[in-house]
Amino acid sequence: MALGRPSTHYVCSSCGAQTRQFFGRCAACGSWNTLVEQAVPAADSRRRRPVSRSGGALAGRSSAEDWNGAAGEAAATGRPRRSEPIDAVGERPLQRLSSGYAELDRVLGGGLVPGSLVLLGGDPGIGKSTLLLQSARAMAERCSVLYVSAEESAQQVKLRWRRLAELEGATDQADRNALQLLSETDLEMVLQELEALRPAVAIIDSIQALHDAELSSAPGSVAQVRECAAALARIAKRQDTALLLVGHVTKEGMLAGPKVLEHLVDAVLTFEGDRFASHRLLRAVKNRFGATHELGVFEMQGRGLAEVSNPSELFLGSQEPSSGTATIVACEGTRSLVVELQALVSTTSYASPRRTATGIGTNRLHQILAVLEKHLSLPLSRFDCYLAVAGGLEVEEPAADLGVAAAVVASFRDLTLPPGTVLIGELGLGGQLRPVGQLELRLQEAARLGFRRAVVPKAGGLGGLAAGLDLQLLEAGNVAEALVAALGSHPSQEEPF
């Protein structure tokens, strides 16, 4: 016996083989560095958390049973009932708690759901702690909030708190004392505090810095992250605390820790942005209580984050007419953004021409260049091509294809597209223009920002929409028609395609 030391073993994350000793290579499948420490789940060595000690609820009922109230109901046979007709399941209206920021609420699907777990990931220094402390400030005015800082001392958090107060212009601190702060890395202490306070919202910054003393592996290791998250999840579900966890990302940009962490939580949000630009984008990668692919936009200012409710202005560029620029309307969830694309086509001095794209996949650019070469007979294979999306936004959707094609052709021919024109459409390999989703939403955003012409794929019944928006719709069936329509009778047009 290891003198009261909890029992752990090592499990291969590749084949599942178990061993009591650590090896660099799994003896069963031969994979390297796949053995991960785990607590032995045997009944006698099962850890007793304070939550089970005091309440005893964990030992008896599962959380699902608590929800529908069917537990313990003995059937006529004397066997406890475990299932029930779906119609008999009681429904509780989904109460959402506003995070205090419309942009964060939008990504969460309308606000925080009690008892839910949200994981927020992002690069170091991107502003995760700032975002959550700002949100905690706002929420603490309406409900009880516990902020657990496992990475920073209470003094550091207080300093940030003070900066944020100055950002908001708050002078009176007396009414903002509902926020409870705990600077602690020991999981047991955090669980006890959660039990004692039973806050409506708890923020853990970060899950990788928490440490379960019953595991010998270092904080941040796969076993630690999984055990800490599971223990927190149990207590959060039981006492209806909305839990916000900060998660680190690896060098490759993935959330650090086991994949099981992403399955365990109800929502995974990523906070991203260019270190050299001030805007920050918040996205939902997974959400059990709302749509994914929603986008929240913030701007990092001197003292904290400010919401950007009109992000199109951020991605629109200078709007000075210049050759090689085109404007598209991208959609992110229910939000549409008017974005400027810039292309530079220049004679190559390499054996194979260079193609560099920022904000758009290089493969997509290669495909569009091939379509233009084939269907417009442009000798682009003898030219280097650079493409950039203004504002550092990543545009993944194919609806940007026509805009990319127009920017490339405009740069190649040294043309300027008429100002006030947006281009929307996906390019097929045969040069045809394919319809895109959410066209109405895109046209509305373009009209709102003062654009007066839109080149779109051919589709019936758009006339009424365009008239309502005071927008001239130019419908095209293929890329050549679309470019002729976009350039129109502009004086700089040299030759039709």
Ligand X SMILES: Nc1ncnc2c1ncn2[C@@H]1O[C@H](COP(=O)(O)OP(=O)(O)OP(=O)(O)O)[C@@H](O)[C@H]1O
Sites of contact with ligand X (CB under 6 A): 122, 124-130, 151
* Beta-carbon count within 10 A of 142 CB: 13
Q: Which does 478 bind (CB under 5 to 8 A by kind): ligand X, Mg ion, none?
A: none
478: contact with Mg ion by CB under 5 A: no
135: contact with Mg ion by CB under 5 A: no
Q: Which does 371 bind (CB under 5 to 8 A by kind): Mg ion, ligand X, none?
A: none
| Residue placing its CB nearer to ligand X in the complex, 234 or 303 | 303
| Residue placing its CB nearer to ligand X in the complex, 107 or 388 | 107
Contact between 395 and 362 (Cβ < 8 Å): no
The one among 129, 149, 208, 438 contacting Mg ion by CB under 5 A: 129
Contact between 476 and 433 (Cβ < 8 Å): yes
| Residue placing its CB nearer to ligand X in the complex, 165 or 480 | 165
| Residue placing its CB nearer to ligand X in the complex, 124 or 379 | 124
| Least gap, CB of 183 to Mg ion (angstroms) | 13
Q: Which does 126 bind (CB under 5 to 8 A by kind): ligand X, Mg ion, none?
A: ligand X
Strands 242-248 and 201-205, how do they pair?
parallel
239: contact with Mg ion by CB under 5 A: no
Question: Comparing C-alpha atoms, which of 448, 330, 317, 449 is closest to residue 394?
Answer: 330
| Residue placing its CB nearer to ligand X in the complex, 84 or 166 | 166
Give the CB-nearest residue to Mg ion. Answer: 129
Q: Which does 426 bind (CB under 5 to 8 A by kind): ligand X, Mg ion, none?
A: none
Q: Which does 65 bind (CB under 5 to 8 A by kind): Mg ion, ligand X, none?
A: none
327: contact with Mg ion by CB under 5 A: no
Concatenate the DSSP letters of all residues of 226-246 into one string. HHHHHHHHHHHHHHT-EEEEE
Cα–Cα distance measured from residue 124 to residue 472, given in angstroms and rounded to the nearest whole number: 46
| Least gap, CB of 128 to Mg ion (angstroms) | 5
| Least gap, CB of 186 to Mg ion (angstroms) | 19
| Residue placing its CB nearer to ligand X in the complex, 99 or 312 | 99
Contact between 312 and 450 (Cβ < 8 Å): no
| Least gap, CB of 328 to Mg ion (angstroms) | 35
Write the burial class of residue 246 (CB in 10 Å: 0-12 exposed, 13-18 middle, 19+ buried).
buried
| Least gap, CB of 279 to ligand X (angstroms) | 13
Q: SS3 of 253, please?
A: coil
Q: Which residues have a Cβ under 8 Å from the Cβ of 72 and sit 6 or more positions away?
A: 61, 65, 80
From 15-23, 122-130, 284-292, 463-471, give the range in contact with Mg ion by CB under 5 A: 122-130
| Residue placing its CB nearer to Mg ion in the complex, 14 or 278 | 278
Q: Which does 122 bind (CB under 5 to 8 A by kind): ligand X, Mg ion, none?
A: ligand X
| Residue placing its CB nearer to ligand X in the complex, 66 or 151 | 151
Q: SS3 of 67, please?
A: helix
Number of residues binding to Mg ion, judged by CB under 5 A = 1
| Least gap, CB of 181 to ligand X (angstroms) | 15
| Least gap, CB of 159 to Mg ion (angstroms) | 13
Cα–Cα distance measured from residue 343 to residue 386, given in angstroms and rounded to the nearest whole number: 6
Contact between 389 and 325 (Cβ < 8 Å): no
Q: SS3 of 220, please?
A: coil
Structure token pair of residue 470: 């005071």
- Within 333-471, strands assigned E span 335-347, 355-358, 383-389, 421-423, 426-427, 433-434, 453-457
Cα–Cα distance measured from residue 301 to residue 141, given in angstroms and rounded to the nearest whole number: 23
Phi-psi category of 105—alpha, beta or left, where left has phi over 0 and alpha has psi -120 to 50?
Answer: alpha
| Residue placing its CB nearer to ligand X in the complex, 128 or 442 | 128
Alpha helices for 218-331 (secondary structure H): 222-239, 259-264, 312-315
* CA angle (284, 288, 294) in 5-degree steps: 25
| Least gap, CB of 212 to ligand X (angstroms) | 21
Q: Which does 379 bind (CB under 5 to 8 A by kind): Mg ion, ligand X, none?
A: none
208: contact with Mg ion by CB under 5 A: no
Q: Per this entry, what is the length of the chain?
A: 497
Q: Which does 130 bind (CB under 5 to 8 A by kind): ligand X, Mg ion, none?
A: ligand X
99: contact with Mg ion by CB under 5 A: no
Cα–Cα distance measured from residue 300 to residue 364, given in angstroms and rounded to the nearest whole number: 31
| Least gap, CB of 222 to Mg ion (angstroms) | 21
| Least gap, CB of 374 to ligand X (angstroms) | 46
| Least gap, CB of 131 to ligand X (angstroms) | 7
From 68-76, 123-131, 196-204, 461-469, give the range in contact with Mg ion by CB under 5 A: 123-131
| Residue placing its CB nearer to Mg ion in the complex, 129 or 287 | 129
* CA angle (360, 362, 367) in 5-degree steps: 105
Residues that bind Mg ion (CB under 5 A): 129
